[in-house]
Amino acid sequence: MLSKTMLDEMNLQIKLELDSAYLYLAMAAHFESANLGGFATWMKMQAGEEQEHALKFYEHIHDRGGKVVLQGIEQPPADYATPLQVFQQVLKHEEGVTARIHHMYAVAQKENDYASQVFLNWFVDEQVEEEKNATEIVEKLKMIGDSTNGLFMIDSKVGKRAE
C-alpha cells in the first residue's frame, strides 16, 4: 500500500508527465509549421514516451492499492524560437524532470517504500538517457551555427529516431 505522501507524489507525477507530453507535442507542431519534419518526428516520439511514463505511474498506483486522481494540465506555448533554443528548453525541462524523480526517490526512501524505490530506479536510468539525448542535439546545433545545410542534416538524422 502506498502512503498518502507517496500517492500524492505519484498522482502529481502523472500530471507532470502529461504536461511534458503536451509540451513536446506543441514543439512538434512548431517544427511541422517550420518544415522541419525530422525534429517534429523526434518531438512526437518524445510526447508518446511521456504518455507511456504517465501510464507507468498510473499502473504502479493501482498495483499498490492506490487511487489515481487526475489533475488538469496547462496549455503549452504555441510559439518557439530556433531549433537550438527549443532543444535548450528541452534539456532544461528534462533536468527538471530528473530533479523531480530524485525527489520522489528520496520520499520513497524516507517512507521505507522499497517497491516504489525499485519502480523509480527505471525512471532514474531513463532520465540519464533523456538528458544525454537532448544534450547531444544541443551540442550539434551549436556546432553548426547558422548553417542551413547543417540544420537540414541534423533534422534528417533526428527524424530517424524510430529506425
Is residue 50 in a domain? yes
pLDDT on residue 104: 98
Residue 143 pLDDT > 70: yes
Half-sphere exposure of 61 (CA within 13 A, CB side): 22
Residue 163 pLDDT > 70: no
Question: How many residues belong to the chain?
Answer: 163
- Mean pLDDT in residue range 132-139: 97
Is residue 28 in a domain? yes
> How many whole angstroms separate alpha carbon 155 and alpha carbon 159?
6
Provide the whole-model pTM: 0.94
pLDDT on residue 161: 79
Is 34 in contact with 148 (CB distance < 8 Å)? no
Q: What CATH number should be reported for the domain holding residue 24?
A: 1.20.1260.10
Is residue 98 in a domain? yes
What are the tens digits of pLDDT across the range 68-124?
999 999 999 999 999 999 999 999 999 999 999 999 999 999 999 999 999 999 999
- Mean pLDDT in residue range 48-54: 98
- Mean pLDDT in residue range 24-36: 97
Is residue 163 in a domain? no
Based on the structure, what is the number of domains in the chain? Answer: 1
Q: Which H helix or E strand runs over 81?
A: none
Is residue 15 in a domain? yes
- Mean pLDDT in residue range 49-72: 98
Residue 162 pLDDT > 80: no
- The boundaries of the domain holding residue 70 are 4-158
User: Which residue, 67, 49, 57, 64, is CA-closest to 15?
Assistant: 57
* DSSP letter, residue 75: P
